[in-house]
Amino acid sequence: MHKYKTHITLKNGQHRAPEQVVAELLKSMFAQTQFPILVAVGGPGGTGKSTFSKALAARLPDTVVLRLDDYKTPRVFRAENKIYGPHPKANKLDLLKSNLIEMKAGRVFQKPVYDKSTGEAETTEPFAPGRFTILDGEVSTYPEFRELVDFSLFIDSDWKTQLTTRLARDVEERGYDKEKAVATFLQSNLREFSEYGAESKKWADMHLYCDADYHLSVESVSDELFHKYKTLFVSDYAEVVLKGLIVPVLTPFGNDGEIDQRAFIQHLEFLAHHGIHRIMVNGTTAEFYSLLPEERKTLLKLARRYFPGLIVLHAGGTGLAQNRIEVQWANEFGADAVAVLPPIYPAGLPEAGLINYFTALEKEADVPFILYNFPKHTGNAITPAILQAVPHFAVKDSAQNFGLMEFTPNYFVGSSTNLYSPVQQGAAGFVAATANVRPELYAAMETLAVSAKIEEAAIMQEEIKAYSAPFSTGGVPLLKQALARKIPGYPANVRCPLV
């Protein structure tokens, strides 16, 4: 079942260590549970899983750590098959699963002992489960063990932090030369884990994030747990809700015309670093009309892995059958909401047809459903009658038809210039493309709007108008050129028919 995440931010810079938060949560959750509790700590290599597991174990009574590196298949086998740690065949998953069953029953079993010098686990030793047993390893959150694990954590970080950690470990501890260490990282972290392990993040009960200085912080927690155990979080954390500023992210293309995934990740990190808590993926600013379906899916999966806040997936405009598939992506790959345009070719469609179209898509969505009004491009305006007939969470209105506000639960104005006036009239937030380039300015405006600081917001509104005016005519190409000056190596390329 899809788990909704409540994304949270620290308040006032004061917080408890994440292992303390997790320990208090686990003790509260399982206070009345008698059988052994299995806690999975997963995520890609180089994110501090082992360090966190030890710190968590020190805060929980009667707790042991099971290192899953002991379940690796022989090094010779992995080398012959050119596979690395995250690959299912690089691990004795069947043996691990049978051992977990023994643990759940409270029985002692013989676990393998992996010898780094020989690259094999030729011996065993007895292992007794504790009240809590922490499963430390990237495969711990894999789907094979989902029914056996009682609580799962996913620790993530940006790729640069992972690379730095892997280089230090592989060069200093394992004697690899730097070239081999980099090649191992590319295959293990960026290819294999992305294919076999990254999707397990959406099933985790809690997400942690490892910063460049190896400081761990709580990124998000399942909605149910956050509200059920709110007293454990409220002193340190504030809930990030689907209101305020949403940034419709650009899609970077390399000189070969392909999506530059590295630049996309860098941009997500840039936005998060400058206070952005919500983004839209595959929107108009992302040139969705020039992306293949698989490319749109890839961008969503990358965003979910590397962006710590709320993600709105745009899944409209391309026809009912394809849109249904993309709404399912929102459900499956961890989007927090889904936005849908009317079909983008047949202009002047009857309201009844649009109502049927939107209703069919809304029924597919397990996340909040947002109607996207952009009649300039679709030739079909979203009307009050449509809003009244189609169940929905919000409207994203790039036409700035403020008369729609009274017919929708939440109104988001699609504008990079006119922001505060709609909020004063009752808008829930704004979707601003220029925030891709100068996120700190728009994040400041969001803070002023939420705080209802009218005079300061009015001044900020004038600064925003002056800054964003050139981009209104320059569009996506100009935004990319400006972002290339902000992020070293970011490509300013666009796809045809843009120039």
Q: Rounded to whole angstroms, how far apart are CA atoms 76 and 79?
A: 5
Task: Count, in order, helices (H) and strands (E) of the chain.
Answer: 17, 18
What is the model's pLDDT at position 199?
A: 85
Q: Give me the sign of the Cα torsion angle 480, 485, 491, 497.
A: positive
Q: Is 198 strand, coil or helix? A: helix
- The first and second tokens of residue 158, run together, are 């940006």
Which among 394, 294, 391 is positioned nearest to 336, based on CA atoms?
394
Q: Please state the three-class secondary structure of 434-473 as a single string.
A: HHHCCHHHHHHHHHHHHCCCHHHHHHHHHHHHHHHHHHHH
Strand ranges across the sheet with 132-136: 63-67, 132-136, 37-42, 151-157, 206-210, 216-222, 5-10, 237-240
Instruction: Look up tokens 């155990």; give the residue.
Output: 229
Q: Is 433 strand, coil or helix? A: helix
What is the model's pLDDT at position 210?
A: 87
- The first and second tokens of residue 146, run together, are 């989902």
User: Cβ(386)–Cβ(431) under 8 Å?
Assistant: no
Q: 18-27 pLDDT, tens per residue? A: 999 999 999 9
Give the CA distances from residue 410 to residues 204, 331, 402, 474, in Å, rounded to whole numbers and listed in that order.
Answer: 29, 21, 12, 29
What is the model's pLDDT at position 2?
A: 40
Q: Is 343 strand, coil or helix? A: coil
Q: Rounded to whole angstroms, how far apart are CA atoms 497 and 488?
A: 26
End-to-end CA distance of the chain: 43
CB atoms within 10 A of CB 445: 24
- The first and second tokens of residue 345, run together, are 């070719």
- The first and second tokens of residue 429, run together, are 């937030």
User: Cβ(422)–Cβ(477) under 8 Å?
Assistant: no
What is the model's pLDDT at position 15?
A: 67
User: Cβ(228)–Cβ(416) under 8 Å?
Assistant: no
User: Cβ(263)–Cβ(296) under 8 Å?
Assistant: no
Give the CA distances from residue 109 to residues 72, 105, 141, 241, in Å, rounded to whole numbers and listed in that order.
Answer: 18, 11, 21, 46
What is the model's pLDDT at position 386?
A: 98
Q: Rounded to whole angstroms, how far apart are CA atoms 173 and 78?
A: 19
Structural domains of the chain sorted by starting position, each given as residue range(s) with its CATH number in brackets:
5-239 (3.40.50.300), 241-486 (3.20.20.70)
Which among 312, 368, 320 is positioned nearest to 342, based on CA atoms?
320
User: Cβ(36)–Cβ(106) under 8 Å?
Assistant: yes
Q: Is 174 strand, coil or helix? A: coil
Phi-psi region at 489: left, alpha or beta (left = phi > 0; alpha = psi -120 to 50): left
For the chain, list residues with pLDDT below 70.
1-4, 12-15
User: Cβ(483)–Cβ(250) under 8 Å?
Assistant: yes
What is the model's pLDDT at position 364?
A: 95
Type of residue found at 349 = L
What is the model's pLDDT at position 4?
A: 60
* CA-based radius of gyration for the chain: 24
What is the model's pLDDT at position 474?
A: 84
